[in-house]
Structure 1
Amino acid sequence: MTIKTHNLGYPRIGDKRELKFTLEAYWKGEKTLADLEKQARGLRYQNVQTQIDAGIELIPVNDFAYYDQVLNMSTLLGVIPKRFRQDRFDVEVAFRMARGRAPSDDQPCLDGHDHAPDKSKAGYAGAMKKWFDTNYHYIVPELYDDTEFKITDTRLFDEVAESLALKSDGTNIDFKPVLVGPVTYLYLAENVSNAIPKLSRLPSLLAVYQQVLQKLADLGINWVQIDEPILGLELSTEWHNAFNQAYAELAQIPVKLLLATYFETLGDNLNLACNLPVAGLHYDGLRGEKQLKDLVEQYPAEKVLSLGLVDGRNIWKTDVNAAIASLKAAKTKFGDHLWIAPSCSLLHVPVNLEVEEKLNPELKTYLAFAKQKLAEVKLLADGLNGQADQQALQANAQAIAAKQTSKLIHNAQVQARLAQLDQIALDRPLPYSEREKLQKGKFNLPLFPTTTIGSFPQTQEIRQARRQFKNGELTEAQYIEAMQAEIRDVCERQERMGIDVLVHGEPERNDMVEYFGEQLDGYAFTQFGWVQSYGSRCVKPPIIFGDVSRPKPMTVSWSQYAQSQTDKTMKGMLTGAVTMLQWSFVRNDQPRETTCNQIALTLRDEVLDLEKAGIHMIQIDEAALREGLPIKKSDWADYLRWAVNSFRMTTSGVQNDTQIHTHMCYSEFNDIIDAVAAMDADVITIETSKSNMKLLDAFVDFEYPNEIGPGVYDIHSPNIPTVEQMVRLIEKAAKLIPAERLWVNPDCGLKTRGWAETEPALANMVKAAQQLRAQFAEKKKTA
């Protein structure tokens, strides 16, 4: 009896973000498509070899993507928006879907063909959403009346053939393609300007999935991993029926399906998952721990049950001995039908802990990145097979025990302050209706006041100065002067453009979470712990390893300096506690609520220090508030309780005439609008341009009482919006929200854009606001 090891997906960015840099060079026209494809092949080969060396027996294929795996499914299935369709698919179509344009839309190609840029093919990018409750983004599939499912993109089959060529005779290594399942794909897709029910499309979609599976079978594939994470949701009868219909059809193809679900328990979908006609089921035994026993008892013993007890979402070392003990019943029942894997794709964790040379040595013994998690999978399987390295098991046990009592992690002062939380009032002294009058008198802003979300372009010079300071090549005084020069520059630019409320541009900040975490005790930072967020965008999440506290103010001196450069109002800029939590790797030895409250207390201190320093407009970004929602709606209320309370704890100590802003992006607010209102921010800025102001509907139906800044242009696209486009969006917003409560701003921060795009876009934004002020003033005269 031998328990098999397999993996659900591996990080695609490369050990040192090689994919990011090659992608961006390609987009700029500095590298050819051939260069990009060569880099991609090299990364795929490296990933396969890493998994083989770790002892993984069934290795994923099609977990690689230039942008994201849902976009790959869309191009595979022919789900291409009307604005980007062409006679023959090429990879530039995918980039237009993701970014609004491709390299040949901007410059002649470098592949030897003599043609001019074709700007006619550019268009607005597809909407991005978070992949369930992760910080990974996917491009939302768009379904039109005339969408015809058909195999359009053959890259999947090319990559399968590439992988199968690596198989050696006499080895037990094999490959399994990974597909987003048809029901999840349809569930996540969006109907565009039509009334065709999504589920009515299922038969035609399944026909193409059958074609895909048959092609894979013809290539010699035995197993296909088919991801259906919506099995963790609370599904209606119609979607239950969709699963039964889908897998009855797909079971007809001669290939074994491993149905993978992760991030949650199966809940009421347990019976459904156990009875679908598939050859195997993968289950997240960590996030679904409370239902693991029921699953083991109910799932048929003649099928494969794959269990994930190595955390694919976090960086903490697995308690392998405890995992072995917890799987005894499963081993007894399933024998060699029991497979071991990470809980989900390792896409969500950094690549390799070995390269981290600056981490605290004690902390490092508590961690495992993607490569190390593969070794844990092997150790766990070996332990169940009775073949484990006993020294490795002993070392694992010692690390787990040491973490529980470590003074590095536990801080008595922080815990004492937490014990007094009930002494902090969560309400501001006056309601918004009364604060508004005080704030309008204080700030004296025009109708449709203009502002930005916080960051301005991070130029090469800014990044170089930060790098030189970090490496000791610049003194602290030299670094401060360099950053102050940048602040002076952005203040002057904003003044010239006529923006009403300024920001300091955040040149000193590497990342909106990392910057703060670096100044807090209880946080640690990696050198190379990058994780893909979307496309070439990688983030390096901090590690919250212990009790969190603030040794000293974090932003006050920068905000004070910026305010000294202008007579206009300067916003102080902070990242909220929930976002600090969501965009970090969080300790797993206490409730997330407790950790969030620790962070909120440090931010409360910072807010009060900013106010004392003369900064009376303070933005606390909670970009991740909605993404923190549990996957099951029945669990939302408790999360929203503590998430909203953490924001109120951060802000409730200020004076009534201090204006509190917050920013949220990529959020669908309908389901959480009560909680957003309960935060009681004076102004909320949100991402709405990609949805053509559709997201504002939630604020209208609810009659949101405070002020709103709906984003008027998409900063994730290099396209420069026209004055007319932004006027049209603001006019649409003004039909939904009283003009007196509307602000004008971009969708998000401008850190990733260049000044060549940013200045004309913001200049157009200011002109749009001015034009609307004139229009509304004229209306008032004639009313």
Structure 2
Amino acid sequence: MSANEDTPVTVNENKDQFRPADHEHDHFLLTTVVGSYPKPKWLNRAKELYQDPDHEFDEDDWQEAKDDASRLITAEHERAGLDAVVDGEMRRNEMVEFFAHRIEGYEFNGPVKVWGHNYFDKPSVVSEVEYDESWLVDEYKFTAAASDRPVKVPITGPYTLANWSFNEAYDDDEALTYDLADLVNEEIEKLVEAGARYIQIDEPALATTPDDHAIVGEALERIVADIPEEVRIGLHVCYGDYSRIYPEILEFPVDEFDLELANGDYEQLDVFKDPEFSKDLALGVTDAHVAEVESVEQIEENIKKGLEVVPPEQLVVSPDCGVKLLPREVAYGKMANMVEAARNVEADLDAGNIDIERGAPAPADD
């Protein structure tokens, strides 16, 4: 069946709460980003000055620089037309290191080489992890005050926080994961109290160790305990063999799965067609690892691939992953073209030009 002006548009209330008041189409494909975004070059220079003991660039200067960068990138996301924005994680360095510095029980012993010439300051868990003070509430409040659009809050998930650290205190990573999940739950409660309604849990480690999906599922149960139903919880998973975790992940207590698929040219798309994908799908429609801006037409075709898996009311549009390693002008071009493509697909859905069941152009009338 094709959508047209005589066909009622199904509304997904959890997703539709982020629909702009002036949205021009009946259909709504929520557009957002996974999280990270290229930092302005001057912010990296400011960090060097702040870390230089011989320079007068002090804590207040460094805070002002991060504030300015957050305003700038949030405005850049707005200019691209995104429905839900992030500040590009301007205050964060690395997805595990940032949180480990804020959790009692972690310590650092120096960088570890991870690939090529890249190093990661891999932390160790040396005692029972404890929640001290909020990790992200100030970041969220600042971004929300800087934008008139909904703000999404990415948080590194407990399984990745455990898996990408040295465990020197717990019997196994499972026990560590569950304690960390309780801390993430505490942080989300504070974020919700501050007004956050869109939380994304990042678990890239799941795709590389898929046999532990049951551990991730139990951790998520702990994370969402007592979180209001209207708060949208997403799970971002990237770069792995999804057939090893599907359909089991459908049992996870989340509203949305954010999946990397463009980088693999959608070779794994069929994984999610049987059994039926019962959650919302945040489909990666631009490749975060290619420093070229996809055309609007190409992204439209990518979005339509998502309609082969879920109906429009369950589809969200985003890049494959964080785009912080791309040139900033490329990252912006991808976002702007992605939004334009999503609006074009919405218009085609409204006009009945797309077969919702097959995600292909409807046959022309004879």
Q: What is the TM-score of this pair, normalised by structure 1?
A: 0.41
In the alignment, does 2:126 pair up with 1:545? yes
Alpha-carbon distance in 2 for matches of 1:474, 1:568: 33
Change (3 A) 1:525 1:459: farther
In the alignment, does 2:191 pair up with 1:610? yes
Alpha-carbon distance in 2 for matches of 1:774, 1:645: 40
Do 2:127 and 2:169's aligned partners in 1 also have CA atoms closer than 8 Å?
no
Q: 1:625 aligns with which of 192, 202, 206?
A: 206
Alpha-carbon distance in 1 for matches of 2:91, 2:49: 12
Q: Encode CA deviations 1:601-629: one digit per residue, 9 max, x unaligned.
A: 11111010000000111111111113233
Alpha-carbon distance in 1 for matches of 2:139, 2:63: 9
In the alignment, does 2:114 pair up with 1:532? yes
Q: Secondary structure at the match of 2:125?
A: strand
Q: 1:779 aligns with which of 316, 334, 352?
A: 352
Do 1:715 and 1:750's aligned partners in 2 also have CA atoms closer than 8 Å?
yes
In the alignment, does 2:86 pair up with 1:513? no
Alpha-carbon distance in 2 for matches of 1:465, 1:711: 32
Q: 1:482 aligns with which of 65, 72, 77?
A: 65
Aligned position for 1:219 = none
Matching residue's letter, 1:763? A
- Unpaired runs of 5+ in structure 2? 1-10, 21-26, 356-361
Aligned position for 1:493 = 76
Q: Encode CA deviations 1:471-523: one digit per residue, 9 max, x unaligned.
A: 56543332222111111111211111111110111111110110000111111
Do 2:348 and 2:354's aligned partners in 1 also have CA atoms closer than 8 Å?
no
Do 2:38 and 2:325's aligned partners in 1 also have CA atoms closer than 8 Å?
yes
Alpha-carbon distance in 2 for matches of 1:582, 1:466: 28
Alpha-carbon distance, 1:569 to partner: 0.5
Alpha-carbon distance, 1:764 to partner: 1.2
Q: 2:44 aligns with which of 463, 471, 474?
A: 463
Aligned position for 1:671 = 244
Alpha-carbon distance, 1:469 to partner: 3.6
In the alignment, does 2:335 pair up with 1:754? no
Q: 1:444 aligns with which of 8, 19, 32?
A: 19
- Unpaired runs of 5+ in structure 1? 1-435, 630-635
Aligned position for 1:694 = 267
Alignment of 1:97-246 (within 5 A): none
Alpha-carbon distance in 1 for matches of 2:248, 2:44: 37
Q: Secondary structure at the match of 1:486?
A: helix
Alpha-carbon distance in 2 for matches of 1:690, 1:437: 28
Change (3 A) 1:617 1:546: same
Q: Secondary structure at the match of 2:282?
A: strand
Q: Encode CA deviations 1:544-587: one digit per residue, 9 max, x unaligned.
A: 22211121001100111100111210011210001111222222
Alpha-carbon distance in 2 for matches of 1:504, 1:623: 20
Q: Secondary structure at the match of 1:744?
A: strand
Alpha-carbon distance in 2 for matches of 1:440, 1:729: 20
Q: Secondary structure at the match of 1:662?
A: strand
Aligned position for 1:722 = 295
Change (3 A) 1:595 1:703: same
Alpha-carbon distance, 1:646 to partner: 0.8
Matching residue's letter, 1:489? L
Alpha-carbon distance in 1 for matches of 2:339, 2:324: 19
Runs of 4 or more consecutive aligned structure 1 residues displaced over 6 Å after TM superposition:
780-783
Change (3 A) 1:747 1:568: same
Alpha-carbon distance in 2 for matches of 1:463, 1:653: 39
Alpha-carbon distance, 1:537 to partner: 4.1
Alpha-carbon distance in 2 for matches of 1:781, 1:526: 55
Alignment of 1:735-746 (within 5 A): 735-746=308-319
Do 2:213 and 2:249's aligned partners in 1 also have CA atoms closer than 8 Å?
no
Matching residue's letter, 1:506? E
Q: Secondary structure at the match of 1:573?
A: strand
Alpha-carbon distance, 1:745 to partner: 0.8
Alpha-carbon distance, 1:461 to partner: 2.2
Do 1:459 and 1:754's aligned partners in 2 also have CA atoms closer than 8 Å?
no
Matching residue's letter, 2:112? W
Matching residue's letter, 2:36? S
Alpha-carbon distance in 2 for matches of 1:542, 1:682: 31
Aligned position for 1:705 = 278
Alpha-carbon distance in 2 for matches of 1:738, 1:614: 29
Q: Encode CA deviations 1:32-66: one digit per residue, 9 max, x unaligned.
A: xxxxxxxxxxxxxxxxxxxxxxxxxxxxxxxxxxx
Q: Encode CA deviations 1:442-477: one digit per residue, 9 max, x unaligned.
A: 333662211110111023322233344445654333
Matching residue's letter, 2:221? R
Alpha-carbon distance in 2 for matches of 1:519, 1:741: 35
Matching residue's letter, 1:439? N
Do 1:665 and 1:687's aligned partners in 2 also have CA atoms closer than 8 Å?
yes
Alpha-carbon distance in 1 for matches of 2:179, 2:119: 27
Alignment of 1:403-414 (within 5 A): none
Q: Encode CA deviations 1:708-751: one digit per residue, 9 max, x unaligned.
A: 11211211121221112211111122123212211111111011
Alpha-carbon distance, 1:641 to partner: 2.4
Matching residue's letter, 1:478? D
Change (3 A) 1:580 1:781: closer
Do 1:458 and 1:752's aligned partners in 2 also have CA atoms closer than 8 Å?
no
In the alignment, does 2:231 pair up with 1:650? no
Matching residue's letter, 2:107? A
Q: Secondary structure at the match of 2:67?
A: helix
Change (3 A) 1:726 1:489: same
Change (3 A) 1:702 1:540: farther
Alpha-carbon distance in 1 for matches of 2:183, 2:57: 29
Alpha-carbon distance, 1:663 to partner: 0.7
Matching residue's letter, 1:443? F
Change (3 A) 1:583 1:458: farther
Alpha-carbon distance in 2 for matches of 1:769, 1:621: 24
Aligned position for 1:76 = none
Change (3 A) 1:437 1:447: closer
In the alignment, does 2:153 pair up with 1:572? yes
Alpha-carbon distance in 2 for matches of 1:677, 1:710: 16
Per residue, is there more helix in 1 or in 2?
Answer: 1
Change (3 A) 1:525 1:704: same
| Structure ID, larger Rg | 1
Identical columns (%): 27
Q: 1:768 aligns with which of 338, 341, 353?
A: 341
Aligned position for 1:400 = none
Matching residue's letter, 1:585? F
Q: Secondary structure at the match of 1:461?
A: helix
Alpha-carbon distance, 1:536 to partner: 4.4
Alpha-carbon distance in 2 for matches of 1:688, 1:444: 25
